[in-house]
Amino acid sequence: MNWIAHPYRAELGRTALSDDAGHVRDMLEQVLFTVPGERVNRPDFGCGLNQLLFLGNSPDLALSVDMTVRGAVQRWLSEVMTLEELTVRSEDATLVIDLTYRLKSTGESQQISLSRPVS
């Protein structure tokens, strides 16, 4: 099945599409980087990861991010994916999040690595 890609964009004069794996990856990024209260009709959606990045880079921040990400993925994406491995680490002024998950529709394992600067 094809899904509208996120963020919305045009490719060759048409709406960009993504496959199932790309759609789940897009949803994962939306959940992680949406601040609760940002969506009008779903005020509890998201985990507000961007807000945690201003707490200063430390092992405590990495633990907070780990717990926050696990909770958000379980709540919002448990029907489409299973979180297999999550690693959060602090590297200098950057927080790195590595996720390994399995798509429930195909059983295919996927990996994504996200990094954000931390002040």
The domain ranges of the chain are 3-117
Mean pLDDT of 87-111: 88
Query: With pLDDT > 70 as the criterion, what percentage of the chain qualifies?
Result: 94
Nearest to 89 by CA among 51, 116, 68: 116
Helices and strands in the chain, H and E counts: 3, 7
Residue pair 46/33 in contact by the 8 Å Cβ criterion: yes
Of 48-52, 97-101, 102-106, the one with minimum mean pLDDT is 48-52
Checking if the pLDDT of 23 tops 90, the result is no
pLDDT in tens, 7-17: 777 888 888 88
Beta carbons within 10 angstroms of residue 91's beta carbon: 10
Higher pLDDT, 84 or 19: 84
pLDDT in tens, 53-98: 666 767 777 788 888 899 999 999 999 999 999 998 877 778 788 9
pLDDT at residue 11, rounded to an integer: 81
The DSSP secondary-structure symbol of 77 reads H
What fold characterizes domain 3-117?
A: Nuclear Transport Factor 2; Chain: A, (3.10.450)
